[in-house]
A and B are shown apart, each in its own frame.
Chain A
């Protein structure tokens, strides 16, 4: 009998196929591995924060005291400069022309002094002559008075001319200062981190979004760590801290606290987005580290872990204290 075997066989085949489908139908998707292993804290309890590397002197945005067209830029990015070294020169033709005028003015004033001096000597000798006459009848009193007055006037003129020289000199010094201010110099010894100006461009005085030139002392680097205000109470100045380089967690460095800015500021997102969103306030702690230990650049982000009190235990002791407080 055909049907006697067909149906059971079909059924067995069906069940086996179903069992096979069950075995093979669902394979969980493979787990995508991390491209680089993320950094993880070496401490049991810790505070995590984003850090940004900056120069020890902070990054100095160099400004210009006077606005003007840039004549020459004497440094390039990466240059080591001494304190007081010229960084760039502004156009000074105008001021130099004024300087020439001022110099001429000074020369004129000095010449005027000579004239006044000669006049004074002339008046003085005439007066001396008159004074020298012992017989009062030989010279009228009026003549004597005139000569004395002429001498006094000449003296006053001489003093005025001398004052004018002083004035001309001061004016010259003023122009020279202006000329000096057209040369922008390094306020500290350091490295040129960024140059955003080229000869011929107009440098504006005042605060600029893009600094003309960035200078920093890179002997020691600092990492500025943002600690969320909600975590700030856990922060201890004496605890250990470690920073990891982003992109390769094998690069890490021990940090030493430099200082803590006691003013809690709104967090600027360090994501590099052009529009920075303020979402919370952060305590900023500055740590220093040895630059030679890491291939790192100023402005780079780091993952920082700061050891902290164990949260759970401290919480228990807090409760305990509360209980004691209420019993008292």
Chain B
């Protein structure tokens, strides 16, 4: 019987390809759009992921997300250090400063100041130089994307490619001299600004005069500490906000979810993909069943039970569904692969495979249902009419 079902399905090539195309398209949209969405959302907290060492981030209680800097007093660092269960606590400066480039252009940079002694919170991957080089005077480390593009020097040929910033080059941060001593690889951030790493005290001298300059306190818990308990203790003792790394990521991510149009935008795309896919695949599948109604009638007249017919239709639906799904996710992966060196945000976790699989299954179930209803209601006598 299964053989007959497959013959029936593939017999009409155009309809077969039509159904598969519809499902592929739906699957592609339902995978690729969320992948970009997830990529963007990951970028919102990529800075937190990059600074992997601390367990807990302490900041002003009104901070809404990672780029929302509300500086603290320097002594808060020592108060946090004095809370039991804290292995160490380190200061971090994070802020946007204007860099003046050699050609006179201005570029806003994300300046990160690390604790002078330990340099905790530094870039995860160094391509050139060492993090220790930050101990040299006026030294900074820039990220490779920034060095290549936004901080690059203009090309000698008009319209040519920019000359990347190299180790030993200098730039001006807020009228202070800064020497590049290293190039780092960091995850792209949401705003894609160049990232400049330096020491905490130097960052303070680069930053405009303010009474408070401490952006974050990075805390490592003692071994065996319950993080939830420790964050509660920090909150109670200092009145500041303390989040575990995951909580801080969620906070940042939630901010973008609630305060930007990004989720609605991508949600609409996914929904449209689903609806259009369902409409095309459903309608084509239904048409195909209608076209084969005569065959089903004959089978029914020959005494085939409804159950077997139902299984035949389900087999057909599962087959086209799987093919469409496989092609769709394959194309998405290909898209992601092609774009891996571009600035496009793309993130493909396994949950997304399940998500789009569920979406395609839903479309198939919907398409199969309307066909099944038609076949079950079919009178075998129809074969002999006309």
Contacts and interface: CB of A to CB of B under 8 A. Distances in A.
Interface of A: 1, 3-4, 7-8, 10-22, 25-26, 28-41, 43-50, 226, 228, 230-231, 234, 246-247, 267, 269, 271-273, 275, 277, 279-280, 282, 305, 308, 310-312
B211 to A, nearest CB: 6
A45 B10 CA distance: 75
A282 B326 contact: no
Contacts of A267: 74-75
A32 B53 contact: yes
B255 interface: no
Given A1-B10, A11-B322, A36 B117 contact: yes
Interface of B is mostly: helix
A312 B233 contact: yes
A121 to B, nearest CB: 84
A17 B333 contact: yes
B121 interface: yes
A311 to B, nearest CB: 6
Contact of A40 (B31, B52, B222, B324): B222
Interface residues of B, number: 74
A8 B119 CA distance: 54
B124 A47 contact: no
Interface stretch (B103-111, B266-274, B347-355): B347-355
Nearest to A3: B13
Interface stretch (B83-91, B166-174, B277-285): B83-91
A18 B353 contact: yes
B53 A231 contact: no
A35 B237 CA distance: 29
B56 interface: no
Contacts of A29: 49-50, 52, 124-125, 186-187
B258 interface: no
Nearest to B27: A14
A168 to B, nearest CB: 61
B98 interface: no
5 contacts: A3-B16, A4-B6, A13-B326, A32-B120, A311-B237
Nearest to B72: A279
Given A3-B10, A40-B88, A30 B124 contact: yes
Contact of A15 (B121, B201, B209, B325): B325
B78 A32 contact: no
Nearest to A228: B75
- In order of increasing CB-CB distance, the 9 nearest A-B pairs are A14-B330, A11-B326, A48-B81, A31-B52, A18-B329, A21-B333, A15-B326, A38-B88, A11-B323
A27 to B, nearest CB: 11
